[in-house]
Amino acid sequence: MSSSSYLDSASRHHTYSRKQKSLGLLCSNFLKLYNRDDIESVGLDEAASKLGVERRRIYDIVNVLESVGVLARKAKNRYSWKGFDGIPKALQELKEEALRENFCCTLGSSSNYLKVFESDEDEKPSIEQSGENAQEQWSSKDYPPSDVSFKKQMDNRREKSLGLLTQNFVKLFLCTNADMVSLDDAARLLLGDSPNSAQMRNNSAAKVRRLYDIANVLSSMNLIEKTHQTDTRKPAFRWLGVNGKSDSVPAPCDKPLNVRQSNKREFGSDITNIDFKRTKALSPIDEKVIKVPTNCEASGQHDPMQQEKGSRGYVYGPFRPVPLTKGNDREKEKTGKRVHDWENLASAFRPRYHNQALTELFAHYMEAWKSWYVEVAQGTKHKAHLAIH
């Protein structure tokens, strides 16, 4: 019962908000749900139902998370959770791989493209067993050991995968000395847009969609930040690195500053993504397709309406302040204070508000704002002329 109230309220203020279903938000929720030390395995179905989204969406997230080392494919329907701790290593490997492949570039102006080759294999699973026999790569039970077997178009599919795209996207940052890349450049670079081959895969537009997808989940992890070129207003991405603190990125030289520390991003109010269809699915006869078992309290809850815009489009969902925790550290607190057992709760029924996380987030928002304010106050356009050019 009560499931109808969703539709009811949805149709009432027929306000379908795309923001509430964004990949980034979903990723945040995914992270909130699994980013704890007692997690070591993640099931796709499990995640999908807990988060209240279709399976397809989980794949999107999982793919990019895996590319960054947060997850590792363990088996069908199963991923092992590495957590944020896995990121540094993954990035390191990506960087090495990039160098090895001469992925590096000069990222010139828009007229300076460069192709991104993908030699053969991609990254190694994770563990490097003194590989003298590194032929244990992905799948391929026993591919022809003979020669490279022409082309080896193996993974013709993987060629254009979100995962690979993600890795290349990240490599872009790891290799470049400027940590800001515009959307177009990224698209151009990752596309392997050919110089004169006219209507080559002109789908740059199509690829851009993927880029947005990737950017969204990467953003939700605070690895990057969506912005725009300081004067061109052109959309761009800035590398933030692992948890705000510059990680192992080489380039310590140039690039003036860049207060790389802005934890923000609209984290959602509700972990579950109730199924408010887009306005179309008005299936006449078809029953309401509510996939979430639901029946949590279904009255006035949810209320997507009450969110207020932050200074720059960051929305805060309705959160519920919690007495406990003054948390100042995200991701794995040192003071192993055993909070609630959300894991269980989550299993029992759909979790709704993640008090603790939200509280922490709020603190971070404040912090981020402060730093921004300072940053802005001290010469708005000033640390701008770096990046691309």
N residues, the chain: 389
CB 77, CB 43: distance < 8 Å: yes
Give the pairing type, strands 41-43 and 78-81: antiparallel
User: Site map for DNA, 26-55, x if CB under 7 A?
Assistant: ------------------xx-------xxx
Distance in angstroms (rounded) separating the CA atoms of residues 320 and 303: 13
**Structure-block tokens of residue 170:** 């990240």
Question: Which residues are CB-contacts of 144 (< 8 A; sequence separation ≥ 6)?
Answer: none
Q: Which of 28, 29, 51, 57 binds DNA (CB under 7 A)?
A: 57
Q: Which of 16, 314, 353, 369 binds DNA (CB under 7 A)?
A: 16
Report the residue number, 158 or 260, with the smaller CB distance to DNA. Answer: 158
Distance in angstroms (rounded) separating the CA atoms of residues 200 and 95: 29
Check residue 17 for interaction with DNA (CB under 7 A): yes
Check residue 235 for interaction with DNA (CB under 7 A): yes
| Min separation Cβ 268 and DNA, Å | 12
| Min separation Cβ 338 and DNA, Å | 32
Interface residues for DNA in 281-320 (CB under 7 A)?
281, 313
CA distances to 35, 138, 304 from 346, in Å: 13, 33, 21
Distance in angstroms (rounded) separating the CA atoms of residues 326 and 309: 24
Q: Round the CA-based radius of gyration of the chain to a whole number and report it.
A: 22
User: Site map for DNA, 177-216, x if CB under 7 A?
Assistant: ------x-------------------x--x-xxx-xx-xx
Instruction: From 13-21, 90-98, 106-114, 361-369, give the range in contact with DNA by CB under 7 A.
Output: 13-21
Cβ neighbour number for residue 202 with a 10 Å cutoff: 10
Check residue 146 for interaction with DNA (CB under 7 A): no
Distance in angstroms (rounded) separating the CA atoms of residues 99 and 95: 6
**Structure-block tokens of residue 33:** 């749900």
DSSP 84-147: TTHHHHHHHHHHHHHHHTT------STT--------S-----S-----S--TT-SS-TT--SSS
Check residue 157 for interaction with DNA (CB under 7 A): yes
Check residue 358 for interaction with DNA (CB under 7 A): no
Check residue 279 for interaction with DNA (CB under 7 A): yes
| Min separation Cβ 132 and DNA, Å | 25
| Min separation Cβ 21 and DNA, Å | 4
Report the residue number, 115 or 160, with the smaller CB distance to DNA. Answer: 160
Q: How many residues bind to DNA according to rule CB under 7 A? A: 48
Check residue 88 for interaction with DNA (CB under 7 A): no
Cβ neighbour number for residue 290 with a 10 Å cutoff: 16
Check residue 162 for interaction with DNA (CB under 7 A): yes
| Min separation Cβ 204 and DNA, Å | 11
Interacting residues with DNA (CB under 7 A): 16-19, 21-24, 44-45, 53-57, 59, 62-63, 76-78, 139, 155-158, 160-163, 183, 203, 206, 208-210, 212-213, 215-216, 228, 235, 277-281, 313
